A and B are shown apart, each in its own frame.
Chain A
Amino acid sequence: MQKSLHLDPAKCTGCLQCEMACSYEKLGEFNPSRSLIKVFSFHFEGRFAPYTCTQCDEAWCQRACPVDAITLDMSTGAKIVIEDKCVGCKVCTISCPFGTVNYVQQTGKVAKCDLCGGDPQCAKACPTDAITFIDANATGYDRMKAYAEKSLPSAEASA
């Protein structure tokens, strides 16, 4: 069973524990600025939205990479950056229309969520279940798709 991250903004309190957990897992330090999951704030409404790579099938990042540095982890379905191959050209960062592949100046390479090899620490750290790691078929795909279509009026016409 393939699992995927389910992000539920309505449950997010903006505590940023996911960012702490992510940076600790990846860098061995608490450095939310380099977390691969980010919590965005909506001060007008007092709301928060955690967001990271959804490991999309389309994988624009993977296709755009000129040196094959982004590959599919068959066990988790994650698209992962092979650090040794990445040259830091950043083409993937402009290709991903979700803005979830970022260039890291400290390393000269790009970084994206790799689902922690199948045990995502952000989901473990989230105290309110705003981030859960569940059966990919149950992540509310239909609901999100319906909402996306509603919010993108031109979707019908172009389909």
Chain B
Amino acid sequence: MSIFNAIKRLFGMSDTPQNQTQKIVDTDIPEPKQASKSKLATETSIEKTEKEISTKINDDNKQSTETTEDSEYIDENIDSSTNTTIKSQKDKLEDSSLTTKDTKHYTTHHAIIGAGPCGVVAAETLRKENPTAEITLIGNENEPPYSRMAIPYLLINKIGEEGTHLRQSDHYQKQNINYLQQTVASVDANKNELVMADGSTLVYKKLLIAAGSHPIAPPIEGIDLPNVHSCWTLKDARQIASIAKEGSNVVLMGAGFIGCIILEALVKRGVKLSIIEMGSRMVPRMMDEKAGGLLEKWCIEKGVNVLTSTKITAIKESDGNMRVELDNGDKLVADLVISATGVKPNTAFLENSGIEVNDGITVNNKLQTNIENIYAAGDVAQGKDFSTGKYEVQAIQPTAVDHGRIAALNMSGKHVEHSGSLNMNVLDTLGLISHSFGLWMGVEGGDSVEIYNPDAYKYLNLRFGTDENADVLVGASTLGMTQHIGVLRGLIESKIHLKEWKEHLLVDPTRIMEAYLASTQELDNAV
């Protein structure tokens, strides 16, 4: 044990019993001791929640919640194979207006839309907090839950497909989490019901929307040609793997974060790669001119054709050959075009649901939407940014996982405030590793210090706050560093006042670990 508990508290993520600010207010969940599959216990708990929800949210709900009470619950035995299915004890709900012959109607205590890292962590957290509640995780791809972050490593055969899967295949069965492969077509917040693309329905008590995001298709002629792909899903990865062979001509549209992650995998596959970026530098949202410039130089030296400040105007196909036309008049031959121009939250299915959507789903600091029993987390949610305090879509893995956990704790009746996720990224571009944290571009009036050694491809920039936070680290970016990087997060998120160590860092910014230790640990007195 160490000072991390104090830091943890600063992160607002504490859920340990030591934290006095936390109270379990929901008493609807039976204690673990009674953790049996007793249907009676579950029903009682559901009834209680039901009353709570119906009083709190909408008195008109009565009819639909009564429907739930009459309905059957999901069979807890699920298939352990990858194509997990749910068997309903009884396919038909007596009162459901949507009942048809072929569709199924389920109820669950907690429903989670989205089976990425956010949804999976949320499901596990819910299970930990609610030993008997029914939890249904819904994924809309014909795959077991998996991690997109692992796709570049699949493309270079560092792992097989099973290496991208989140948890072992029997994990969900062991955790008694129902995994449903369905596309949610709409949410009826008044009836607490999800309507699936095939017409089946799922009635929930509490809902977490962790539906993630999807790649933007830029409005360019030819974007829908068969050999133009995004690189987002396992299906995309399979298609890319089948075309991107040694010597193939590949054009990567976009040198943002995702583009750069795929870049490495493509080069390792031996393709002839061109990367086209509209912005003036690579990863403009993660690196400044100096770091972005170094990265570009690095890629060019490794044989990648990098074109910044360049736009693709059209992709044309004739006689089976693709040509990518650029705004500088050049044309590139391509066997494969990969579009990586950014992602957008998956909110289309929420239209007319009454759930408030801005850039992403609007949430409060408990990751709750404008509808009390509906939460949103991960890429789809417009959560709080640690550095700015503003609510914005971050769409990064660590944030998705934090969101999933905090949303699940709040859904379980705990009061855990999300103090904001730190925007941070790590990128490995053909062996050159870069990071960015928080306000890496700095704040007006704040001090900063940098090391810039272009010959060694090294860059480090530390950004400090202003006024009473003049000795607090607020952002950092690095290039060519791998050791003790996480402490930058620790220094920023714990808002440690560095005092005299700020001066030391201004002289030698590499001493971040020493600054952290000196600011948090007793170095002089013996025990």
CB-CB under 8 A from A41, the residues of chain B are: 514
CB-CB under 8 A from A151, the residues of chain B are: 3, 496, 519-520
Give the residues from 32 to 54 in chain A that come closer than 8 angstroms, CB to CB, to chain B. Answer: 38, 40-42, 44-45, 47, 49, 51, 54
CB-CB under 8 A from A44, the residues of chain B are: 504
Interface residues of B (CB under 8 A from A): 1-13, 16, 19-21, 117, 121, 147-150, 153, 158-159, 163-164, 166-167, 397-398, 401, 405, 419, 424-426, 428, 431, 433, 435, 437, 482-490, 493-497, 504, 512-514, 516-527
A118 within 8 A of B: no
- Kindly count the residue-residue contacts between A and B in the assembled complex, taking CB atoms under 8 Å apart: 201
Give the residues from 51 to 75 in chain A that come closer than 8 angstroms, CB to CB, to chain B. Answer: 51, 54, 56-58, 63-64, 66-68
B486 near A101: Cβ-Cβ < 8 Å: yes
A93 near B2: Cβ-Cβ < 8 Å: no
B526 near A11: Cβ-Cβ < 8 Å: yes
The one of B1, B489, B490, B514 in contact with A40, judged by C-beta atoms closer than 8 angstroms, is B514
Closest 7 pairs (CB-CB, A-B)? A99-B487, A97-B490, A148-B3, A99-B484, A141-B1, A66-B147, A148-B6
Number of chain A residues whose Cβ lies closer than 8 Å to a Cβ of chain B: 61
A88 within 8 A of B: yes
A-B contact pairs, 11 of them (CB 8 A): A42-B518, A42-B523, A57-B16, A89-B426, A89-B428, A93-B482, A98-B490, A108-B158, A144-B521, A147-B3, A154-B10
Q: Report how far A25 CA is from B64 CA in the complex, Å.
A: 63
B1 near A54: Cβ-Cβ < 8 Å: yes
Most buried by A among B495, B517, B526: B517
Closest to B21 in A: A159
B524 near A145: Cβ-Cβ < 8 Å: no
From DSSP, what is the main secondary structure of chain A's interface residues? Answer: mixed
CB-CB under 8 A from B513, the residues of chain A are: 38, 40, 51, 99
A152 near B494: Cβ-Cβ < 8 Å: yes
Q: A9-B521, A42-B514 are in contact. Are A97 and B121 (CB under 8 A)?
A: no
A47 near B523: Cβ-Cβ < 8 Å: yes
B16 near A94: Cβ-Cβ < 8 Å: no
A10 near B149: Cβ-Cβ < 8 Å: no
A76 within 8 A of B: no
The one of A51, A97, A136, A152 in contact with B486, judged by C-beta atoms closer than 8 angstroms, is A97
A9 near B8: Cβ-Cβ < 8 Å: no
Give the residues from 75 to 134 in chain A that come closer than 8 angstroms, CB to CB, to chain B. Answer: 85, 87-105, 108
Q: A145-B3, A155-B10 are in contact. Are A100 and B426 (CB under 8 A)?
A: no
Q: Report how far A49 CA is from B484 CA in the complex, Å.
A: 15
A87 near B150: Cβ-Cβ < 8 Å: yes
CB-CB under 8 A from A11, the residues of chain B are: 526
B526 near A10: Cβ-Cβ < 8 Å: yes
* Sample of 4 more A-B contacts, CB < 8 Å, known A67-B166, A97-B11: A92-B486, A96-B489, A147-B520, A155-B10
A93 near B485: Cβ-Cβ < 8 Å: yes
CB-CB under 8 A from B523, the residues of chain A are: 9-10, 42, 45, 47, 49
Q: Report how far A75 CA is from B496 CA in the complex, Å.
A: 34
CB-CB under 8 A from A100, the residues of chain B are: 484, 486
A139 near B489: Cβ-Cβ < 8 Å: no
B117 near A66: Cβ-Cβ < 8 Å: yes
Q: Report how far A56 CA is from B14 CA in the complex, Å.
A: 13
Q: A64-B397, A64-B398, A87-B153 are in contact. Are A10 and B525 (CB under 8 A)?
A: yes
CB distance from A45 to the nearest CB of B (A): 7
Q: Report how far A56 CA is from B520 CA in the complex, Å.
A: 16
Q: A66-B147, A87-B158, A158-B10 are in contact. Are A148 and B514 (CB under 8 A)?
A: no
B520 near A148: Cβ-Cβ < 8 Å: yes
Most buried by A among B7, B164, B497: B7
CB-CB under 8 A from B12, the residues of chain A are: 158
CB distance from A1 to the nearest CB of B (A): 14
CB-CB under 8 A from A51, the residues of chain B are: 513, 517
CB-CB under 8 A from A89, the residues of chain B are: 149-150, 153, 426, 428
CB-CB under 8 A from B490, the residues of chain A are: 96-99
A97 near B4: Cβ-Cβ < 8 Å: yes
B485 near A145: Cβ-Cβ < 8 Å: no
CB distance from A44 to the nearest CB of B (A): 8
B495 near A159: Cβ-Cβ < 8 Å: no
CB distance from A98 to the nearest CB of B (A): 6
CB distance from B426 to the nearest CB of A (A): 5
Q: Report how far A41 CA is from B504 CA in the complex, Å.
A: 13
A159 near B19: Cβ-Cβ < 8 Å: yes
A91 near B3: Cβ-Cβ < 8 Å: no
Closest to B156 in A: A87
Q: Report how far A135 CA is from B396 CA in the complex, Å.
A: 38
Q: Report how far A7 CA is from B512 CA in the complex, Å.
A: 19
CB-CB under 8 A from A64, the residues of chain B are: 397-398, 401
A147 near B521: Cβ-Cβ < 8 Å: yes
A154 near B495: Cβ-Cβ < 8 Å: yes
B520 near A152: Cβ-Cβ < 8 Å: yes
CB-CB under 8 A from B163, the residues of chain A are: 67, 85, 87
A88 near B153: Cβ-Cβ < 8 Å: yes
The one of B397, B495, B514, B524 in contact with A10, judged by C-beta atoms closer than 8 angstroms, is B524
CB-CB under 8 A from B6, the residues of chain A are: 145, 148-149, 152, 155
Q: A40-B517, A67-B147, A98-B490 are in contact. Are A152 and B496 (CB under 8 A)?
A: yes
A56 near B4: Cβ-Cβ < 8 Å: yes
CB-CB under 8 A from B426, the residues of chain A are: 89-91, 93-94
Q: Report how far A99 CA is from B4 CA in the complex, Å.
A: 12
Most buried by B among A95, A140, A143: A95
CB distance from A93 to the nearest CB of B (A): 5
A23 within 8 A of B: no
CB distance from A38 to the nearest CB of B (A): 8
B527 near A98: Cβ-Cβ < 8 Å: no
The one of B397, B419, B433 in contact with A91, judged by C-beta atoms closer than 8 angstroms, is B397
CB distance from A47 to the nearest CB of B (A): 5
Q: Report how far A138 CA is from B442 CA in the complex, Å.
A: 42
CB distance from B483 to the nearest CB of A (A): 5
CB-CB under 8 A from A105, the residues of chain B are: 431, 482
CB distance from A50 to the nearest CB of B (A): 10
CB-CB under 8 A from B153, the residues of chain A are: 87-89
